[in-house]
A and B are shown apart, each in its own frame.
Chain A
């Protein structure tokens, strides 16, 4: 696999974010009843699968560049309590919002094919926020550059 050799540290930072996202969405989905909350569960499951695929892509890119991918932590702190569907949704939104910003950083710190991948990832993450009741923003993924629309 041809990998941009620049931005490896940025890839590692993004991978660290994805490790956390995979953990969080896995926990959130496990906390949600597929029968009682099918729409929420479906959104969480899709988010989990997407972030897991992104994590694997990052691991492959970093490995192809000759570096050891940063390891996941044993566990991660959830953004908030997840005692009901509303709290689960809030935690999912916060996590997804953070990853949108992470990909924005990756866009800024890369070039070429890697930047194009980061742009696509930013786009998908921003749209996925809407599934967790996120409000549209003027400049998603820019670290608060714009305000909510």
Chain B
């Protein structure tokens, strides 16, 4: 089984080296690890040479999760009656995002709000959009898990997708 670092602290990841940062985020003492970048001096911008595929996965997922979290926050703000349904989905996505952000290169975390779709005026349509967005995020987690080089990282991403699946199942059952 892969025993190399899974998720690094931001600075060490940017330097192309890795130590366990996931344990700090989850409090679970996990030391799952990612393969580091090819070169300590490599740029951390997505697509640049020297950035490991798994680091690129982290960057892409962070972007997708930020957009989804922003949409859910906007939806809850505009439709308070949906709070009971949206909050559990939002909570799990925030936890996932917090874990991944620790491993994302500093220059990939742009300041400012992520652009998101407009929240529909009707609550039912707004909730439909929340569910579709969360389902799309789950698909991204699973495809990323399939593509990940690190087996332990793949397991983490699959676990994220499964966490979303559980929440989606409960949300749909409560409608």
Chain A positions within 8 Å of B, measured between CB atoms, are 100, 104-105, 107-111, 115-116, 118-119, 122-123, 126-127, 129-130, 136-142, 144-147, 149
Given the interface contacts A109-B151, A122-B158, A145-B26, does A136 sit within 8 Å of B163 by beta carbon?
Answer: yes
Chain B positions within 8 Å of A, measured between CB atoms, are 1-2, 22, 26-28, 30, 32, 88, 91-92, 95-96, 142, 145-146, 151-152, 154-156, 158-163, 165-167, 169-170
The answer on a CB contact under 8 Å between A108 and B170 is: no
The answer on a CB contact under 8 Å between A147 and B28 is: yes
The answer on a CB contact under 8 Å between B162 and A100 is: yes
Determine which of A108, A123, A138 lies in contact with B165 in the assembled complex, contact meaning CB atoms within 8 Å: A123
The answer on a CB contact under 8 Å between A108 and B163 is: no
User: With contacts A140-B166, A141-B162, A146-B163 known, what are 7 further pairs, Cβ within 8 A?
Assistant: A107-B155, A110-B151, A138-B26, A140-B162, A145-B26, A146-B26, A147-B26
Given the interface contacts A119-B146, A127-B169, A145-B32, does A138 sit within 8 Å of B154 by beta carbon?
Answer: no
Bound together, the chains give a CA A139 to CA B146 distance in angstroms of 16
Determine which of B151, B155, B167 lies in contact with A136 in the assembled complex, contact meaning CB atoms within 8 Å: B167
A-B contact number at CB 8 A: 105
Given the interface contacts A138-B92, A139-B156, A146-B26, does A127 sit within 8 Å of B165 by beta carbon?
Answer: yes
Bound together, the chains give a CA A70 to CA B155 distance in angstroms of 24
Residues in B neighbouring A130, C-beta threshold 8 A: 166, 169-170
Bound together, the chains give a CA A140 to CA B165 distance in angstroms of 10
Given the interface contacts A107-B154, A115-B146, A136-B92, does A127 sit within 8 Å of B2 by beta carbon?
Answer: no
Residues in A neighbouring B158, C-beta threshold 8 A: 104, 107, 118-119, 122-123, 141
Determine which of A109, A116, A145 lies in contact with B1 in the assembled complex, contact meaning CB atoms within 8 Å: A109
The answer on a CB contact under 8 Å between A139 and B163 is: yes
Bound together, the chains give a CA A140 to CA B163 distance in angstroms of 6
Residues in B neighbouring A144, C-beta threshold 8 A: 28
Bound together, the chains give a CA A138 to CA B28 distance in angstroms of 12
The answer on a CB contact under 8 Å between B166 and A126 is: yes
Q: How far is the CB of A103 from chain B (nearest CB, A)?
A: 8
Q: How far is the CB of A106 from chain B (nearest CB, A)?
A: 9
Residues in B neighbouring A141, C-beta threshold 8 A: 155, 158-159, 162
Q: How far is the CB of B170 from chain A (nearest CB, A)?
A: 6
Determine which of A108, A111, A126 lies in contact with B155 in the assembled complex, contact meaning CB atoms within 8 Å: A108
Closest 7 CB pairs of A and B: A139-B159, A108-B151, A126-B162, A136-B166, A142-B159, A108-B155, A140-B162
Question: Which residue of chain B has the shortest Cβ distance to A137 in the bound complex?
Answer: B163
Given the interface contacts A100-B162, A104-B158, A109-B1, does A145 sit within 8 Å of B167 by beta carbon?
Answer: no
Residues in B neighbouring A119, C-beta threshold 8 A: 142, 145-146, 158, 161
Q: How far is the CB of B37 from chain A (nearest CB, A)?
A: 21
